[in-house]
A and B are shown apart, each in its own frame.
Chain A
């Protein structure tokens, strides 16, 4: 078994209005589906990039894997162990094996703890005795390339990049098999982004980590991921190897996303492929293919019939009646 993470038909719903409100306003379905029918796999040592617009459900998907948001249906399997339906207390062991990096590097560190305490905490949480937490803290800091002097620093005294490194050190403390990184480069200078990505790369080689990287930064994900999954309105519209998707996107949405990436060369003209309109509301999903409201290639069939995932020859899967390859 080479799949470390296998998600099948995952659905995460949130209640939008209270029970009484729903009765009064006659709302038959007070839920929205933030993640709908998502299936994906991450192999050992692999990096999967999860890409989509704001509000497409990427973050929710990552949080669902760690049991931070309740799953409605589907299955999440980590190293052969089913996670959906686990009790909160049973989830603790799972969280040893999965690390998570949150979007805001500074805000994801407890503000009244210094780095020494923050780094010792994973060991206390899991009741690991016989560990010299001071030595461990120093070791972890050196792994992520921070000076020992940071041991006494508090979150608000750290820069974004330093806080990010502390966050990485914290997740590494428990020797996880996989790290879910939610926008690991958001809010960082380009040079710091590069440093963090190199660090993540280095750690992957050193510890054989798998990554699931949630981002909307396409140039970054192109360089670090082996495979990509594109999300739209909580569904995966396309997944496959990064190389093949960048070379020839099969879904019109992927194509539009890639076309929106700024090019460093001003003379290089590209076909302007703009997305029409706004992302539809999750409360009112369009019928048929959910992308048809913004798709330049939409035809009559797209408005009625929802496309299933269609396998393409090169191991890709796409949810489109008329794939572009």
Chain B
């Protein structure tokens, strides 16, 4: 189920150029706020742009931002977490301190500060999300590494003469990557909502670039005139969130046979 939604989402993002029926940027002042019709499947917005096409292109942005942000923070968290877990004690203490410090900021506040400093743009959003979520992955990797450091198979590798790089990447990594990928797929909807939230607040992707958050924002402003904009921006957000969460849970069940007791 989750997998199907995710696949559909990826197809619509990749094929946005073919799937969109109109240019998402073209304004048509005479065709403002139309209800859904055969011509405009989801109607038009206050500037007369085709909402269906904007939703499709918005999905591309959402997916691009979330996949980039999640994979960067996954890699960052993996490396820092393994360093903290396997490295010297002082490094561990330092990294845990940094993780806790970063996590103590509410993400939205942190994002507001960063956007104010760097200006709203997609790279800024990605940076904010990466910095805020590295500790989430880092902590899990650190704990797993710590618990694996004293296991007999790691000792056995050391006894054979294996260095820390080999132990970390060829023996510890394969054992932590499973839970981490599950977490990542569950983090993707969170990231998409953060991106939509920031765009909704006007701090994310700059208009006129179509994003779900900015479609929602338009809908919010014109909700007295038409419900379609809010529905068009909100529904894909809900579906995507559900899809990735289902996918994450399916992955978790597949990776962890102990949970498979229906």
Give residues in A with beta carbon < 8 Å to B.
63, 66, 68, 89, 91-93, 95-96, 98-100, 102-104, 107-113, 121-122, 124-126, 155, 167, 170-171, 174
Which listed residue (A96, A98, A167) contacts B156, Cβ 8 A? A167
* A63 contacts B155, C-beta separation under 8 Å: yes
* B160 contacts A102, C-beta separation under 8 Å: no
Q: A95-B160, A125-B162 are in contact. Are A108 and B152 (CB under 8 A)?
A: yes
- Please, how many angstroms separate the alpha-carbon atoms of A104 and B153 in the complex? 9
* A92 contacts B163, C-beta separation under 8 Å: yes
- Please, how many angstroms separate the alpha-carbon atoms of A111 and B153 in the complex? 8
Which listed residue (B151, B161, B166, B171) contacts A95, Cβ 8 A? B161
Chain B hits for A125, CB < 8 A:
157, 160-163, 166
Q: B159 near A: Cβ within 8 Å?
A: yes
- Please, how many angstroms separate the alpha-carbon atoms of A149 and B163 in the complex? 30
Chain B hits for A100, CB < 8 A:
156, 159
Chain B hits for A108, CB < 8 A:
152-153, 155-156
Chain B hits for A110, CB < 8 A:
153, 156-157, 171
- Please list 27 pairs of residues, one from A and one from B, whose beta carbons are closer than 8 Å in the complex, sorted by A's number: A66-B158, A66-B159, A89-B163, A91-B161, A92-B161, A92-B163, A93-B161, A95-B160, A96-B161, A100-B159, A104-B152, A107-B153, A108-B152, A108-B153, A108-B156, A110-B156, A110-B171, A111-B153, A111-B175, A113-B171, A121-B157, A121-B162, A122-B160, A122-B161, A126-B161, A171-B160, A174-B160
Q: B174 near A: Cβ within 8 Å?
A: yes
- Please, how many angstroms separate the alpha-carbon atoms of A283 and B219 in the complex? 71
For B152-190 the 0/1 string (1 means CB < 8 A from A) is 110111111111001000110011000000000000000
Chain B hits for A171, CB < 8 A:
160
Q: A92-B163, A111-B175 are in contact. Are A102 and B152 (CB under 8 A)?
A: yes
* A109 contacts B153, C-beta separation under 8 Å: yes
Residue of A nearest to B151 (CB): A107
**19 new A-B pairs (CB below 8 Å) besides A102-B152, A109-B153?**
A66-B158, A68-B158, A95-B159, A95-B161, A100-B159, A108-B152, A108-B153, A108-B155, A110-B156, A112-B171, A112-B175, A113-B170, A121-B157, A125-B160, A125-B161, A125-B163, A125-B166, A171-B160, A174-B160
- Please, how many angstroms separate the alpha-carbon atoms of A89 and B158 in the complex? 11
Rounded to whole Å, the gap between the CB of A97 and the closest CB of chain B is 10
- Please, how many angstroms separate the alpha-carbon atoms of A107 and B147 in the complex? 14
* A121 contacts B160, C-beta separation under 8 Å: yes
Rounded to whole Å, the gap between the CB of A184 and the closest CB of chain B is 13
- Please, how many angstroms separate the alpha-carbon atoms of A103 and B160 in the complex? 15
- Please, how many angstroms separate the alpha-carbon atoms of A68 and B159 in the complex? 7
Residue of B nearest to A103 (CB): B152
Residue of B nearest to A89 (CB): B163
- Please, how many angstroms separate the alpha-carbon atoms of A126 and B155 in the complex? 16
Chain B hits for A107, CB < 8 A:
151-153
Rounded to whole Å, the gap between the CB of A105 and the closest CB of chain B is 9
Chain A hits for B151, CB < 8 A:
107
* A102 contacts B155, C-beta separation under 8 Å: yes
- Please, how many angstroms separate the alpha-carbon atoms of A113 and B158 in the complex? 16
- Please, how many angstroms separate the alpha-carbon atoms of A99 and B156 in the complex? 9
- Please, how many angstroms separate the alpha-carbon atoms of A96 and B151 in the complex? 21
* B156 contacts A102, C-beta separation under 8 Å: yes
- Name the residue in B160, B163, B170 with the highest tally of chain A Cβ atoms < 10 Å from its Cβ: B160
Chain B hits for A109, CB < 8 A:
153, 156
- Please, how many angstroms separate the alpha-carbon atoms of A89 and B162 in the complex? 10
Rounded to whole Å, the gap between the CB of B116 and the closest CB of chain A is 40
- Please, how many angstroms separate the alpha-carbon atoms of A95 and B162 in the complex? 9
* A170 contacts B160, C-beta separation under 8 Å: yes
* B159 contacts A112, C-beta separation under 8 Å: no
Closest 3 CB pairs of A and B: A95-B161, A108-B152, A112-B174
